[in-house]
Amino acid sequence: MNLDTEITYIPGVGPKRAALLNKELSIYSVEDLLTYFPYRHIDRSRFYTIREVNEEMPYIQLRGRIVRKEKIGEGRKQRLVAIFGDGTGFIELVWFKGLRYIEDKYRINQDYVVFGKPTRFGAKINIAHPEIDILTEANAKTVLGLQALYNTSEKMKSHYLNSAALRKLIYTAISKLQAPLPETLPESIIKKYNFVSRHTAIVHIHFPSNVKELERATQRLKFEELFYIQLSIFYQNRLREQKYKGYVFASIGEKFNGFYKNHLAFELTNAQKKVLREIRADMATGRQMNRLLQGDVGSGKTIVAFMSMLMAIDNGFQACLMAPTEILANQHFQSIGKMGEKIGLNVQLLTGSTKKKDRETLHAELMEGKINILIGTHALIEDTVVFQNLGLVIIDEQHRFGVAQRAKLWTKNVCPPHVLVMTATPIPRTLAMTVYGDLDVSVIDELPPGRKPIQTYQLYDNKRASLNRFIAKQVAAGRQIYLVYPLIQESENLDFKNLEDGYALLKETFPQFKISMVHGKMKPSEKDEEMRKFVEGTTQILVATTVIEVGVNVPNASVMIIESAERFGLSQLHQLRGRVGRGAEQSYCILMSSYKIGDDTRKRLEVMVNTTDGFEIAEADLKMRGPGDLDGTQQSGLPFDLKITNLSRDGEMLTFARRVAEEVIDADPRLEKSENKLLKQQLEHLRRQTVNWGVIS
Ligand code: ADP
Ligand code: MG
């Protein structure tokens, strides 16, 4: 048996289990199985006696015999109870599922090792669905000691493919391996940092004899995982730098200076100035800029974007800005258009709803270089959009665009234009270094002066009357209000009903107020019309789904009410809250939730009440959700699987791995030296397995 062997051929697997492992865990080969790492280990080196067991104990292991077993109850409520004794007392083992199988499998008066979580059930303590083994010399290794626990699905469990079964399969696979696992790190790195071999690491992560072995195995595997991601990033970056020269924006010219001197409505914050200097430095070097601009909501990224565009324009180039939604593109068009007008720039808008005729004129003018700044949505990416001389691309709210889309904008000029990616989602440093490791990072870490911190409150639904009084008072004082309903998927009819009911109720409660409603099912033109009314102040309340999540800027709106706040993630809540606190008035964020919420949700809402710092919230979010939840949700940008690292906990290892990777690339940028042959092979291998970072090189 070797690493490529299909799992069907592992004794104890067979076609049925193989199909299950394929489908549920994407495990196809022996290698996949061996790199399916446990999520934690429990200590099964110790035996307890039944007399000392209490329900506070997390897990216990007992040695003894079943003296009696019986089925209790009828039909679906039936359960199997076995009385298990060890000479110091008796304890009940209980099963609610798979009764027939269990009843046949476990016999009276056979010596068993029982393992599970004791719980109190009325006056008695029992163990539900315990793990039971007959101890032999041969299986001691897979039963006793530090036991690896593996995630399995409900479906697998119902086919008796639980954590323990998986552990046995892994054990079998390892013992049948014809040769040790090949090494994947160069000798030099292993020696220098005193790592264990890959073979040892894999064996010990599944079957450690002691804590030390487990630790060393874990360190090695985490290092390896992070190191190769970083190595790949550095390698690609160097290649790219060699391949492409960046346009040189040598001078600060008339437009920039004219705007700065005569039209800037406020003093830039120090953070804005610092970032502009970083951008300026990048664009003057001849190296193509790839920069991520992080700035909390309301920190003033738009003006930075605009002034960066002026640098491009002053040097004879065009600039474009791409936003994730029409509303946002529109808004940028409004504000940038206004600023551009003052200094005689031609700023245009291109979205999905731009009419065909307008589009044709626009395309022509773009090619002739008559348009200085083009603002738009995904429509900008289309091949028909051709610039005369595009020098700078700005992408707003990056988390909604993928790497591939970013790459597409690169092809819009002979050389790739400079790229500035702006995001208001504060990304924890560790995540930024992996997901956006190919970007340099600038941070606006200061809000414009005079902002009052937003006050956040959590209210249960039974406090609706006082919420209504608050709404009335705020509107009477001239403020505007957002009221947001969850709509996780725009097509969920139930959510939609919530929104409509909420809207109807609000109209009934406040007949004297004007109310706008915006949701994803509306036509863009209707949506824009409703938005416009709110922006202009014609309506006082905007009832909406999360379509307003990003970017919308209405300084007079000072209250954000979030309905069913328990259904939002932290970063989404933070984004929504960022819609207020943009004017001079005291702003409020009210989180409405039902009384029945879980502990995690309670914690989430507490974080929101306790801090407005986006980075703190992002860290908390990463900690609470863990990296497993990252894919598929907010951070779906992760272009690779992390099998063992936890980005929220392994920050130090990441920094270390990054440093080592950088050292390697500094010494041998193209990995041509013979000692680095393995590294290069490994990169190729990984690149074939993951999303191709190479698309942008
Ligand atoms: P975001 O970073 O969320 O995109 P915006 O660029 O929309 O933030 O800016 C938020 C608000 O702050 C806007 O009304 C903008 O005009 C204002 N603003 C930006 N920079 C400053 C500054 N230095 N001083 C005062 N107000 C500013
Ligand atoms: Mg913005």
Which residue range forms the structural domain that includes residue 64?
7-176
**Is 599 strand, coil or helix?**
helix
Q: Is 295 in the pocket of ligand 1 (CB under 6 A)?
A: yes
Domain harbouring 298, CATH code? 3.40.50.300
For the stretch 348-368, pLDDT in tens is: 999 988 999 999 999 999 999
**What is the 3-state composition of the chain as percent helix, strand, coil, each rounded to the nearest 5?**
45, 20, 35
Residue 549 lies inside a defined structural domain of this protein? yes
- Ligand 1 centre distance from Cα of residue 447 (Å): 8
Q: Is 424 in the pocket of ligand 1 (CB under 6 A)?
A: yes
Last residue of a domain, one of 160, 176, 192: 176
Ligand that comes closest to the CA of residue 584: 1
Identify whether residues 296 and 399 lie together within a single domain. Answer: yes
| pLDDT surpassing 50 at residue 640 | yes
For the stretch 134-165, pLDDT in tens is: 988 878 777 788 889 999 988 998 888 999 89
Which ligand 1 atom minimizes the distance to the CA of 269?
23
Whole-angstrom Cα distance, residue 284 to residue 25?
A: 49
Whole-angstrom Cα distance, residue 568 to residue 110?
A: 52
Which ligand 1 atom minimizes the distance to the CA of 299?
2
10-36 burial, b if ≥16 CB within 10 A, otherwise e? beebeeebbebbeebbebeebbbbbbb
- Show the CA angle centred on residue 255, arms to residues 253 and 259, nearest 5°: 120
- Ligand 2 centre distance from Cα of residue 356 (Å): 28
Q: Is 582 in the pocket of ligand 1 (CB under 6 A)?
A: yes
For the stretch 5-14, pLDDT in tens is: 999 999 999 8
Identify whether residues 416 and 470 lie together within a single domain. Answer: no
| pLDDT surpassing 70 at residue 130 | yes
Q: Is 553 in the pocket of ligand 1 (CB under 6 A)?
A: yes
For the stretch 338-349, pLDDT in tens is: 999 999 999 999
| pLDDT surpassing 90 at residue 207 | yes
Identify whether residues 279 and 418 lie together within a single domain. Answer: yes
Q: Is 302 in the pocket of ligand 1 (CB under 6 A)?
A: yes
- Which structure tokens are listed for 204? 């010990």
For the stretch 435-473, pLDDT in tens is: 677 788 888 988 888 778 899 999 998 999 999 999 999
Residue 614 lies inside a defined structural domain of this protein? yes
What average pLDDT score do residues 316-333 get? 89
Q: What is the side-by-side strand order in the sheet with 118-121?
A: 118-121, 124-128, 90-95, 79-85, 60-72, 111-116, 131-133
Least confident stretch, 48-62, 190-204, 590-604, 634-648: 634-648
Do 288 and 357 touch, CB atoms closer than 8 A? no
For the stretch 363-409, pLDDT in tens is: 999 999 999 999 999 889 888 899 999 999 999 876 555 656 666 77
Backbone angles phi, psi at 118, to 5 degrees: -75, 135
Task: Give the residue, by CA position, lying nearest to ligand 1 atom 12.
Answer: 300
Whole-angstrom Cα distance, residue 658 to residue 288?
A: 22
Whole-angstrom Cα distance, residue 119 to residue 92?
A: 10
The best mutation among 263, 303, 339, 446 to test binding of ligand 1, ranked by most ligand atoms within 8 Å of the C-beta, falls on: 303
- Ligand 2 centre distance from Cα of residue 438 (Å): 23
Q: Is 299 in the pocket of ligand 1 (CB under 6 A)?
A: yes
Among 601, 561, 578, 566, smallest CA distance to 467 is for: 561
β-strand pairing of 557-562 with 588-593 = parallel
Q: Is 268 in the pocket of ligand 1 (CB under 6 A)?
A: yes
Longest dimension (CA), the chain: 94
Which ligand 1 atom minimizes the distance to the CA of 335?
16
β-strand pairing of 111-116 with 90-95 = unpaired
The best mutation among 260, 549, 553 to test binding of ligand 1, ranked by most ligand atoms within 8 Å of the C-beta, falls on: 553
Residue 140 lies inside a defined structural domain of this protein? yes
Ligand that comes closest to the CA of residue 273: 1
Ligand that comes closest to the CA of residue 301: 1
Query: pTM for the whole thing?
Result: 0.69
Q: What is the pLDDT of residue 183?
A: 95
For the stretch 243-252, pLDDT in tens is: 888 899 988 8
Last residue of a domain, one of 413, 444, 475: 444
- Ligand 2 centre distance from Cα of residue 529 (Å): 20
- Ligand 2 centre distance from Cα of residue 422 (Å): 8
Do 515 and 506 touch, CB atoms closer than 8 A? yes
Residue 234 lies inside a defined structural domain of this protein? no
Last residue of a domain, one of 572, 598, 629: 629
β-strand pairing of 347-350 with 290-295 = unpaired
Q: Is 286 exposed, middle or buried (0-12, 13-18, 19+ CB in 10 A)?
A: exposed
Whole-angstrom Cα distance, residue 198 to residue 221?
A: 8
Residue 228 lies inside a defined structural domain of this protein? no
Identify whether residues 422 and 489 lie together within a single domain. Answer: no
What average pLDDT score do residues 588-601 get? 91
Identify whether residues 303 and 360 lie together within a single domain. Answer: yes
Percent of the chain clearing pLDDT 70 (strictly above): 92
Q: What is the pLDDT of residue 692?
A: 38
Q: How many domains does the chain have?
A: 3
Question: How many Cβ atoms sit within 10 Å of the Cβ of residue 533?
Answer: 17
Residue 170 lies inside a defined structural domain of this protein? yes
Task: Give the residue, by CA position, lying nearest to ligand 1 atom 20.
Answer: 300
| pLDDT surpassing 50 at residue 695 | no
| pLDDT surpassing 90 at residue 613 | no
Domain harbouring 126, CATH code? 2.40.50.140
Identify whether residues 410 and 461 lie together within a single domain. Answer: no
| pLDDT surpassing 60 at residue 690 | no
Residue 299 lies inside a defined structural domain of this protein? yes
Identify whether residues 266 and 415 lie together within a single domain. Answer: yes
Identify whether residues 124 and 260 lie together within a single domain. Answer: no
Do 294 and 397 touch, CB atoms closer than 8 A? no
Residue 183 lies inside a defined structural domain of this protein? no
Q: Is 269 in the pocket of ligand 1 (CB under 6 A)?
A: yes
Q: What is the pLDDT of residue 347?
A: 98
Identify whether residues 481 and 561 lie together within a single domain. Answer: yes
Whole-angstrom Cα distance, residue 604 to residue 570?
A: 6
Whole-angstrom Cα distance, residue 542 to residue 576?
A: 13
Identify whether residues 158 and 268 lie together within a single domain. Answer: no
Ligand that comes closest to the CA of residue 575: 1
Identify whether residues 280 and 331 lie together within a single domain. Answer: yes
Do 408 and 266 touch, CB atoms closer than 8 A? no
Identify whether residues 333 and 426 lie together within a single domain. Answer: yes
- Ligand 1 centre distance from Cα of residue 297 (Å): 9
